[in-house]
Structure 1
Amino acid sequence: MTATHHAPAAAESGASATERFKSDKLATVADTPKERVDLLAREVLSAVHETIRRHKVTYDEYNALKAWLIRLGEDGEWPLFLDVWVEHVIEEVATEHRQGNKGTIEGPYYVPGAPERGSRGSVPMRDNEPGTPLVWTGRVTSTDGTPLAGATIELWHADADGLYSQFAPGIPEWNLRGTFSTGSDGSFEIRTVRPAPYQIPTDGACGALIAAAGWHAWRPAHLHVKVSAPGHELLTAQLYFPGDEHNDDDIASAVKPELMLDPAPAEDGETVSYGFVLDPAA
């Protein structure tokens, strides 16, 4: 199966990410105690007030901020903005207690329910899917070294054009998205293709911020994973490739040394070995 596609506009991507958040995450948000809201809201506003005073922010700059915030909402880019510039700190705080593998941000492009592929299989992909073939092997264990049979690995990533299925038009629904399980010894083997680096959408409010600040919009190439097993904490991570020019200045600040792969050349593409150690649930 083949398909042609183009990079989605910020509004398209933002709308998809917003709807996905509403369907997958909104229902799980518990009511936050008033005391917690009061504490966090006051401290965030206090930090904003201090920035205004310290830098003598003018009314023109204040109005520029208002205009940008209005556009951010109109473009539907709140999920993108928060995932790119805020989530990495939330993830850091949420997982600082872990003794097993380090994780990183989920980002806006996760979709649950990807096709099951067993412990050895390939992600769904198009005929002649562009990109270097990649065979990934590894094991999932607990922190005490016990192999975790039947652990689940959800994998998703961008294609060779830096686009994600279900968030860009013209790509088959589950392209480069799969769910894998580990064997009796905790092992797995996944066949996919090496993804490409990509820029986050730049024609919307987030792109306007990037341009105004003189930043770049690039994310290094990466594989997204969610790894889970009964009685253990869910691990959400991204795995990166050495030599990418944006490993050191990722726009989302999500790269960690522990998440770097070490690919080796193979007869048909590359191979990589990388496993996961999960923390027992408290």
Structure 2
Amino acid sequence: MTATAAASGASATERFKSDKLADRIGTPKERVSLLAREVLDAVHGTIRRHKVTYDEYNALKAWLISVGEDGEWPLFLDVWVEHVVEEVATEHRKGNKGTIEGPYYVPGAPEQGARGTVPMRENEPGTPLVWTGRVTSTGGPALPGAKIELWHADADGFYSQFAPGIPEWNLRATFTAGADGEFEIHTIRPAPYQIPTDGACGKLIAAAGWHAWRPAHLHVKVSAPGHELLTAQLYFPGDAHNDDDIASAVKPELVLSPQSDGHGETVEYGFALDPVRS
């Protein structure tokens, strides 16, 4: 079997429904009305400014239907909308910058302790990467026991549990910071990849003349009691798409500085978490 956008999209949709909707908090009707009306007003303004035709309107309807049929709403929203939600939600923070989660997070990855190797296949393609760092509070104290959840794509741009033929927890792990907040992670450097283009999102990309590339990145979630959850992606210098990421998720503070050690690469990068606001 080969990976398809439809299969990946369906997996992302089902994962969202099982992991996120259960925790949904009811939004007041007044807030729903405000947001829905402003979104619709923006759509109406676009139609009027650009004299949208019925052919264009019907093409939009057909495309929206195909987004649902392909299960690509999580992909569409995470690629083109989430970065602004993240920006607004975290603008108060003093600690590390974060960025989007994306559609491929899975909770419950295997625990590896403070120092360990991410589960991977024998002879997993990619340059070996050793990543060390510490987790602290923005006030300075170390945060022993902090959780670092890591996941990333393989050298072909595929994520375990969202593409066939990949072991369940491949390139996914959870680490627990040591007594001084320290951690050491052994993994491989991921490759840049294109988001799925054989579904509805790919049709939009082709019709608009855009590219579909994401720069190479490591996904992380870092958490500790009494502190705000940090969700981020970490990038690599020199990537051709750091400046034009299709998901608009790259920030200068998230670009790593790896060093070659003759066997692979090493990098040091830590996290300062913001205390929960009272």
Give the SS at the match of 1:180: strand
Query: Displacement of 1:142 after TM fit?
Result: 0.4
The yes-or-no answer on 1:216 pairing with 2:216 is no
The structure 1 residue matched to 2:94, chosen from 94, 99, 112, is 99
Partner Cα distance (1:251, 1:66) in 2: 23
Q: Give the structure 2 partner of residue 167 of structure 1.
A: 162
Partner Cα distance (1:80, 1:37) in 2: 23
The structure 1 residue matched to 2:110, chosen from 109, 112, 115, is 115
Q: Give the structure 2 partner of residue 151 of structure 1.
A: 146
Task: Tell me which amino acid in the other structure corresponds to 2:191.
Answer: A
Alignment of 1:134-149 (within 5 A): 134-149=129-144
Write the deviation string for residues 211-257 of structure 1: whole angstroms up to 9, x where unpaired. 00000000000000000000000000000000100000000000000
Write the deviation string for residues 110-160 of structure 1: whole angstroms up to 9, x where unpaired. 000000000000000111111000000000000111111010000000011
The yes-or-no answer on 1:242 pairing with 2:232 is no
Query: Displacement of 1:31 after TM fit?
Result: 1.1
The structure 1 residue matched to 2:251, chosen from 249, 253, 256, is 256
Task: Tell me which amino acid in the other structure corresponds to 2:33.
Answer: D
How many residues are aligned here?
A: 277
Alignment of 1:16-95 (within 5 A): 16-95=11-90
Give the SS at the match of 1:140: strand
Partner Cα distance (1:200, 1:161) in 2: 11
Structure 1 spans left out of the alignment, 5+ residues? none
Partner Cα distance (2:62, 2:139) in 1: 53
Partner Cα distance (2:14, 2:220) in 1: 21
Partner Cα distance (1:16, 1:275) in 2: 32
Query: Displacement of 1:267 after TM fit?
Result: 2.7
The structure 2 residue matched to 1:200, chosen from 195, 200, 203, is 195
Partner Cα distance (2:96, 2:137) in 1: 10
Task: Tell me which amino acid in the other structure corresponds to 2:121.
Answer: R
TM-score by length of 2: 0.99
Query: Displacement of 1:258 after TM fit?
Result: 0.3
Partner Cα distance (2:238, 2:265) in 1: 15
Structure 2 spans left out of the alignment, 5+ residues? none
Write the deviation string for residues 140-187 of structure 1: whole angstroms up to 9, x where unpaired. 000111111010000000011111000010000000000001111111
Structure 1 moving runs of 4+ over 2 Å: none
Q: Give the structure 1 partner of residue 119 of structure 2.
A: 124
Partner Cα distance (2:46, 2:38) in 1: 12
Partner Cα distance (2:67, 2:109) in 1: 30
Partner Cα distance (2:100, 2:183) in 1: 23
Query: Displacement of 1:65 after TM fit?
Result: 0.5
Partner Cα distance (1:179, 1:142) in 2: 19
Give the SS at the match of 2:143: coil
Partner Cα distance (1:66, 1:128) in 2: 46
Partner Cα distance (2:263, 2:97) in 1: 30
Partner Cα distance (1:228, 1:72) in 2: 33
Computed over aligned residues only, the root mean square deviation of the Cα atoms, in angstroms, reads 0.7
TM-score by length of 1: 0.97
Query: Displacement of 1:268 after TM fit?
Result: 1.1
Task: Tell me which amino acid in the other structure corresponds to 1:94.
Answer: A
Q: Give the structure 2 partner of residue 182 of structure 1.
A: 177
Partner Cα distance (1:17, 1:147) in 2: 35
Query: Displacement of 1:10 after TM fit?
Result: 1.1
